A and B are shown apart, each in its own frame.
Chain A
């Protein structure tokens, strides 16, 4: 992306908010899965 467009509020084509939201959702899903199996592990100790 061109430097000058990086400054200020992202608008129109340079808006990557959906990407930000997507990677957060992805991260939460990874953590959720891991923690679920971790609880199963603890339960069976």
Chain B
């Protein structure tokens, strides 16, 4: 394919709109994060009676839900338009409908959080009860994302029709897989919000089945993390090889790993409910086994990345066991930021294996270790990869080029993030092993000796959080520059080619009916019996609580 294939300007506008919202969410959510670490250090109190939980809900919703969903959909629109051709007017129209639904929904949700009527955290567990507007806003966000998902499916279907018997472009395939994953899993959150939480918060029903709502949430919540991660894998598999000047190690391996993620990321929600009563341990065990299956595509990805880098380094004459590392383009932020993200995925994955093991989860459950864990997975691996992608995507879409100075700032930004996160997440992990709870403001718990042990770690978190906030300011400067002020010019949208001699990708890879069939079968196996059990043996249900 030609090197300078550009995303059509009209499609670029659509993608950019999403990316703007994502970075605004990053700024506001980051500020909330800074305040949290300061409060938890014990040296600072929120002014004007603002509740810690208002801030924490803002942080979780803006960063966990809004930043991610907007960036991902914007990035995927760009990637699909780049690799499967310019959208039809209809597809683009529906893309905008999706964008506005999500944006209006975000505004409504944010409004009710900020006026203090929805301090229920981003997981909105019942029996905490928010203002109905909070649930309504979230519903619009999800419906908007579905509209955008179908826009991508429609474009893909047209490509397949126009290219019979051809394998679709890798990035388009991956975007489709990720949107199928999203669609299947978000049905769960839609069900609990529309059938349980919204009627209950409106006062139409008095009581809610808490276990069912939490189960539906985690049916959605675990695949949610793969919805965040797979776009980062798109960058690693299909874009980073081009940036370093190498090739894709194996197209089939990349597609297979995405299909395996589709299978094994949904029927595993119980690993978030291991400590919960009311679920038979046998079914927890089944879902933990399925959870550990995710190790397969994860290790496949690690292998493919190492191999891509080593093949490239050796082609440049590297010798010795690790000499190829030295040949990588360390001065290029488009490579450096995602690479650091990959490195942080190693401790992140190790922590994940601990979390998913029933007994070990008893050590870390609901401690700040968990928060440390997902600030590695999401707030470092995924986010740094997205930053790295934005460094070429934003100027590509805005018709500008990144200057040397901005590239240097982006390298510094990455290093700042590494330092801040090592402090913050590292001390969260150790503090969690000492039993410190997550989701709590500062307290010495009546000067209990155990709680006093935690304080030094909390101060380290405030130091790390402050450094991270500087990192957020830096990335916002870079993105604003790339979107509005950088010199005009053409920036490449890098898309890697497959290594010569790699096996041809079989067409059977795109047997979506089969893949969706297997996905649904696994879900039914993992959930049907325990779910019926939850409904048949349900307690009376709970009234809503508003703890503010």
**Which chain A residues have a beta carbon within 8 Å of chain B's beta carbons?**
1-2, 5, 12-19, 21-23, 26, 29-30, 33-34, 37-38, 40-41, 44
Given A2-B501, A33-B353, A34-B350, check contact A18 B310 (CB 8 Å). Answer: yes
Question: If the complex has contacts A1-B502, A17-B321, A30-B349, are A37 and B310 also in contact, measured as CB distance less than 8 A?
Answer: no
B93 CB-CB contact with A under 8 Å: no
- Number of contact residues on B: which range applies? 20 to 34
- CB contact under 8 A between A16 and B307, given known A37-B363, A40-B363: yes
What chain B residues lie within 8 Å of A5 (beta carbons)? Answer: 501
- Decide if B340 is an interface residue (CB 8 Å cutoff): no
Q: Which residues of B from 488 to 513 have beta carbons under 8 Å from A?
A: 499-502
A13 x B311 contact (CB < 8 A): yes
Do A41 and B360 form a contact, CB below 8 Å, given A21-B321, A21-B322, A22-B306? yes
A29–B362 touching, CB < 8 Å: no
Question: Are B353 and A19 interface neighbours, CB within 8 A?
Answer: no
Q: Does B354 contact A (CB under 8 A)?
A: yes
Contacts between the two chains (Cβ within 8 Å), count: 71
Q: Does B346 contact A (CB under 8 A)?
A: yes
| B353 engages A41 (CB within 8 Å) | no
The digit string for B312-333, where 1 denotes a CB below 8 A from any CB of A, is 0111000001111100000000
Interface residues of A: mostly helix, strand, loop or mixed?
Answer: helix
Asked if B353 contacts A34 (CB within 8 A), the reply is: yes
> How far apart are the CA atoms of A16 and B313 in the complex, in Å?
11
User: A21–B313 Cα gap in the complex (Å)?
Assistant: 15
What residue in chain B is nearest A17 (Cβ atoms)?
A: B321
Per DSSP, chain B at the interface is helix
Asked if B321 and A37 make an inter-chain contact with CB atoms under 8 angstroms apart, the answer reads no
Contacts of B314 in A (CB 8 A): 12-15
Pick the contact of A23: B303, B313, B433, B502 (CB < 8 A): B303
CA distance A33 to B351 in the complex (A): 7
Compute how far the CA of A43 lies from the CA of B14 in the bound complex, rounded to whole angstroms: 55
Given A15-B314, A38-B359, A33 contacting B354 (CB threshold 8 A): yes
Q: Which residues of chain B are within 8 angstroms of A41 by Cβ–Cβ distance?
A: 359-360, 362-363
The 6 closest A-B pairs by CB, nearest first: A33-B350, A2-B501, A19-B306, A22-B306, A18-B310, A19-B307
Expressed in whole angstroms, the Cα–Cα distance for A23 and B314 within the complex equals 18
B357 at the binding interface (Cβ < 8 Å): yes
Question: Which residues of B sit under 8 angstroms from A19, Cβ to Cβ?
Answer: 303, 306-307, 310
Q: How far is the CA of A2 from the CA of B325 in the complex (A)?
A: 24
Instruction: Indicate if the CB atoms of A23 and B363 lie closer than 8 Å.
Output: no
| Bound-complex Cα distance A40 to B517 (A) | 42
Q: A18-B321, A23-B299 are in contact. Are A30 and B310 (CB under 8 A)?
A: no
**Shortest Cβ distance from residue B433 to the other chain A in the assembled complex, whole angstroms:** 6
Chain A residue at smallest Cβ distance from B364:
A37
Neighbour of A13 across the interface among B315, B325, B347, B351, CB < 8 A: B315
Q: Is the CB of B360 within 8 A of A38?
A: yes
Interchain nearest-CB distance for B132 vs A (Å): 42
A23 touches B354 (CB 8 A): no
Give Cα A21 to B306, complex, Å. Answer: 10
Q: Are B501 and A23 touching (Cβ within 8 A)?
A: no
**Contact yes or no, A23 B306, CB < 8 A:** yes
CB under 8 Å from chain A, chain B span 296-311: 299, 302-303, 306-307, 310-311
